[in-house]
Amino acid sequence: MKVPIKGGIDCDLHPAQPSMTALLPYLDEYWRDQVVDRHITRYSFNLTSYPPNSPLSARPDWQHDASSDLDAIRRQALDAFGSRYAICSVLHGAVALFNEDMSMALCSAVNDWVAKELLDREPRLRASILVPVHNPERAAAEIRRVAADRRFVQVLLFAMGDAPLGRRIYWPIYEAASQLGLAIGIHAGSTYRHAPMSSGWPAHRVQDYVAQSAAFEMQLLSFLAEGVFQQFKSLRVVLMEAGFAWLPHLLWRNAKAWRGMRAEVPWIDRSPAEIIREHVRVTLQPVDTPKGDAATLAKTLEHIGSDRMLLFSTDYPHWQYDGTDALPDGLPEAIVKRILIDNPLETYPRLREGAQISDNASNSKEAVR
Amino acid sequence: MNIPVRHATTAAATKLAIVDCDIHPAYRKPSDLYPFMSARWREHMETFGEHLRQGLSGQLCWPRMSAFGMRADAFPKDGPPGSDLELMRRQHLDPNGVEVGMLMQLSKGGMEERNLEFAAALSHAINDWQLETFVKPEPRLRAGLVVPQEDAAFAVSEIDARADDPSFPQILISPRSSDPLGHKRYWPIYEAAERCNKPIALHVQGYPGGHASTGSGWPTYYMEEHYAATTGMQNTLTSLVFDGVFERFPRLKVVLIEGGFAWAPALAWRMDKHWERMRKETPHVKRPPSEYVRQHVWFTTQPIDEPDNPKHLAEVIEWLGWDRLMFSTDYPHWDFDDPLHTFKFTMTEAQKAKVFRDNAKALYGLP
């Protein structure tokens, strides 16, 4: 069904990634030379998880030239759904590089490009901070640098990476996010440091994509078991493009398993289901209950047991639905406004502020050689 | 989860003989297998032992929450839980009214062994050992034919050699395989299974097959690894569907054991959605994935999920199909499900009969 009210907050929108040439002005001299001399500018930084011509990556009627991307976003994603804000996440492949320094430099450039080319030009846009996780201390420094611009509302991580994200080596990232009022957004996608399945490498892209939900499940468990939510009490983790029909099983299973295994994780002082319902949010698309089956959707939402967890998302320009039917048929009226407005505002403290734009965000860049 | 020893009369009161689809036997000591192995492999076992894909050789890298992950009351005087048939009878088969028990022999069967010659020797030995130690002395028990999936040629010979033996109503391979189980290297095993009309049983595995337990690497806690069994099962089912195994082997039956089931309807919907969008990539998958799942896959109950509202689990079983769920206890493991207390909602007599007995009898062709 269509979005029935104006002013929704779209929590998962993907601008086209900038070409390497477009990023050159945002790199210092050393990195400009590096990427030019090594011909890195000539090839794409697409993630393997999102091949540009795959139906998942680009809905046919939403395909457009990268140069007209902002116009397309305004027309097809913001105006068409009546969104008040949309949170941009650029799924840039720089995070998949093994070279920590280069990865850091390119991610910084992407963040600065987003501020200047998107946020400055379209006041309805907000953004995620792209960070590589090779060196969490440096990631935290980049978060602090970019977060001076309050239009950045979350940190962007990926569902499959080097290690489970709850691991304590990553806590500097969560400490920075907590202090700065940023959510942690985990988006579908892999840097392929590990096989997508616990039995190895599947043959097809559709299998990788289906397996994302299992990866999200294990990331949630990692945050839970390591005690991230005990340490960072205000932290919100947003699972983006994860689906949500798998949630009830995870909640039920872990509420029970914890009773037998709590001695191993004694900091978990109440039911995991309760902790997850409090700290974790999930973007709406892809809706993974059967299309047009309102009864199953309603039961699934009842099984999830909370009306606070879902956040409206168009997942533009990924092809998850047709036309402007970004809400599933039969979504109970009582929760439509929650999903569209209240839940996003509760999740992202920075969306509750007026747009205050830092004037020194792009001047405070650290040398990252 | 320990329970008081139940008297045999309790079972009579429930009036329902059950098929328990997950019972774990054990050897008292590894040398129990020696009578079934050649001198060459006995010596190899003594000298080198198993060669696995994990850092510890004496125990699992995520230590369990109780001694070896066993019920504390299931230890016989001599040897580990599951090794004493008399205790198994007294503690489980008799009082719980087990009419048929399906054995799941998880270790020393070669499924996780890197040396494939040794794996073949172990597989053959463990199958003979199951027959002699449990199935012949106790007619209520059936063995699972353990074969190393990484050596399909040997696996097929072992399956074919015992094709007509009703002591082995199903074939066990590991879902922690070296490649996702839909991979063509495993297809000869499915062909052999179809030929002898025996289901492929996939029980969650403690030993990795060479890949991290998650797409983002290795988890820290047993609490995570325990759950990764369910995401691993989802992965395996996804591979079987999209690699076209059920299209190629239309009579193949697959049983997922101890991997949970409440995730299955959601996974089937998810596969359907993305299959529709991406179907040009896998044109060999001719029908929506949920149809293959509905037709080819069975699930066991333990460890049962316990939502706050028990009705929710009943709704999930409606989605799954009452004819696809089979009761299991996991005896003698610590997270044993007691047949009297497994389901917190009221089942009809017909539903109860299906889940506790008839689905398994139909699947395995039990009398």
Count structural domains, chain A: 1
Interatomic CA distance for residues A72 and A59, integer angstroms: 13
Max Cα–Cα distance, chain B, nearest Å: 60
> Which residues from B are below 8 Å from A200, CB to CB?
177-180, 183, 209-211
Rounded to the nearest 10 degrees, what angle do helices A29-37 and A100-113 cross at? 110
Interatomic CA distance for residues A349 and B295, integer angstroms: 48
Q: Sign of dihedral through CA atoms B32, B33, B36, B38?
A: negative
CB contact under 8 Å between A246 and B266, yes or no, is yes
Tokens 């902790």 locate to A275
Q: What is the pLDDT of residue B137?
A: 98
Domain encompassing residue A33: 8-363
A3 occurs within a structural domain = no
A260 closest CB neighbour out of B65, B224, B263: B65
Q: Where are the alpha helices (DSSP H) in chain A?
A: 20-23, 29-37, 69-72, 100-113, 136-146, 171-180, 205-210, 212-226, 228-231, 247-261, 272-279, 294-304, 333-337, 343-347
List the beta bridge partners of residue A239.
A186, A282
Supply the mean pLDDT for chain B: 94
Region B1-15 average pLDDT: 52
CB contact under 8 Å between B270 and A160, yes or no, is no
Confidence grade of residue B4 (pLDDT, cut at 50, 70, 90): low
Q: What is the pLDDT of residue A359?
A: 41
Interatomic CA distance for residues B256 and B263, integer angstroms: 12
Task: Say yes or no to pLDDT of B57 above 90.
Answer: no
Are B271 and B289 in contact by the 8 Å Cβ rule? The answer is yes
* CATH number reported for the structural domain that contains residue A224 in this entry: 3.20.20.140
CB contact under 8 Å between A248 and B312, yes or no, is yes
Interatomic CA distance for residues B325 and B351, integer angstroms: 10
CB contact under 8 Å between B270 and A288, yes or no, is yes
CB contact under 8 Å between B319 and A198, yes or no, is no
Compute the nearest-CA separation of B307 from chain A (Å): 5
Residues B74-124 have pLDDT tens digits of 999 999 999 999 999 999 999 999 999 999 999 888 999 999 999 999 999
CB contact under 8 Å between A55 and B266, yes or no, is no
A369 occurs within a structural domain = no
Token readout for A194 is: 């590990």
Token readout for B33 is: 């297998």
Token readout for B206 is: 């403690």
Residues A326-348 have pLDDT tens digits of 999 989 888 999 999 999 999 99
Compute the nearest-CA separation of B361 from chain A (Å): 28
A248 occurs within a structural domain = yes
CB contact under 8 Å between B219 and A164, yes or no, is yes
Mutation target for B interface from A197, A204, A208, A246: give the one with most B CBs within 10 A: A197
Region B260-277 average pLDDT: 98
Task: Say yes or no to pLDDT of B5 above 90.
Answer: no
Q: What is the pLDDT of residue A369?
A: 32
A315 occurs within a structural domain = yes
> Which residues from A are below 8 Å from B315, CB to CB?
299, 303
Compute the nearest-CA separation of A271 from chain B (Å): 11
CB contact under 8 Å between B242 and A55, yes or no, is no
CB contact under 8 Å between A211 and B215, yes or no, is yes
Mutation target for A interface from B111, B214, B292: give the one with most A CBs within 10 A: B214
CB contact under 8 Å between A245 and B179, yes or no, is no
Task: Say yes or no to pLDDT of B1 above 50.
Answer: no
Token readout for B325 is: 């769920």
Kindly state the DSSP code that residue B244 receives in the 8-state scheme: T
A194 closest CB neighbour out of B182, B211, B242: B211
> Which residues from A are below 8 Å from B1, CB to CB?
260
A1 occurs within a structural domain = no
Residues B168-210 have pLDDT tens digits of 999 999 999 999 999 999 999 999 999 999 999 999 998 999 9
> Which residues from B are below 8 Å from A165, CB to CB?
216
| DSSP codes of every residue in B17-75 | -EEEEEE----SSGGGGGGGS-HHHHHHHHHT----SSS-SSS-SS--SSGGGB-GGG-
Correct CATH for B17-364 of 2.30.30.30, 3.20.20.140, 3.50.50.60, 3.40.50.300? 3.20.20.140
Are B273 and A297 in contact by the 8 Å Cβ rule? The answer is no
Assess whether the previous peptide bond of B288 is cis (omega < 30° from 0): no
Q: What is the pLDDT of residue A52?
A: 87
Token readout for B344 is: 């917190």
Closest among B108, B109, B113 to B158, alpha carbons compared = B109
> Which residues from A are below 8 Å from B232, CB to CB?
197-199, 214
Are A88 and A118 in contact by the 8 Å Cβ rule? The answer is yes
Token readout for B171 is: 């074939």
Token readout for B240 is: 């079987």
- Enumerate the domain spans of chain B: 17-364
> Which residues from A are below 8 Å from B180, CB to CB?
197, 199-203, 207
* b/e map A258-271, b = 16+ CB within 10 Å: bebbeebbeebeeb
CB contact under 8 Å between A255 and B282, yes or no, is no
Instruction: Show contacts of B44-49: CB within 8 Å, 24+ apart.
Output: B44/B118, B44/B121, B45/B118
> Which residues from A are below 8 Å from B270, CB to CB?
210, 213, 243, 245-246, 288
Q: Which residues contact A363 (CB under 8 A, 6 or more apart)?
A: none
A237 occurs within a structural domain = yes
pTM to 2 decimal places: 0.95
Closest among A300, A299, A294 to A244, alpha carbons compared = A300
Compute the nearest-CA separation of B328 from chain A (Å): 17
Compute the nearest-CA separation of A233 from chain B (Å): 21
Burial-class residue A332 by CB neighbours within 10 Å (0-12, 13-18, 19+): middle
A356 occurs within a structural domain = yes
A2 occurs within a structural domain = no
> Which residues from A are below 8 Å from B247, CB to CB?
none
Closest chain A residue to B308, measured at CA: A252
Are B150 and B210 in contact by the 8 Å Cβ rule? The answer is no
Q: In what order do the strands lie in the sheet with B18-23?
A: B18-23, B98-103, B141-142
> Which residues from A are below 8 Å from B175, CB to CB?
199
Q: Where are the alpha helices (DSSP H) in chain B?
A: 8-14, 39-47, 85-88, 116-130, 152-161, 187-195, 222-242, 245-248, 264-278, 289-296, 311-320, 349-353, 359-364
> Which residues from A are below 8 Å from B312, CB to CB?
248, 252, 299, 302-303
B269 closest CB neighbour out of A209, A221, A288: A288
Interatomic CA distance for residues A214 and B230, integer angstroms: 9
Are A111 and A156 in contact by the 8 Å Cβ rule? The answer is no
Closest chain A residue to B304, measured at CA: A253
Q: What is the pLDDT of residue A78?
A: 98
Residues B199-251 have pLDDT tens digits of 999 999 989 999 999 999 999 999 999 999 999 999 999 999 999 999 999 99
> Which residues from B are below 8 Å from A206, CB to CB?
242, 274-275, 278, 281-282
Compute the nearest-CA separation of B329 from chain A (Å): 16
Q: What is the pLDDT of residue A365?
A: 42
> Block means of pLDDT (10 residues each) for chain A, length 369 residues?
96 96 97 96 91 90 92 97 98 97 98 98 98 97 98 98 98 98 98 98 98 98 98 98 98 96 96 98 97 96 97 97 95 93 97 60 38
Confidence grade of residue B14 (pLDDT, cut at 50, 70, 90): low
Chain-centroid distance of CA B238 in Å reads 18
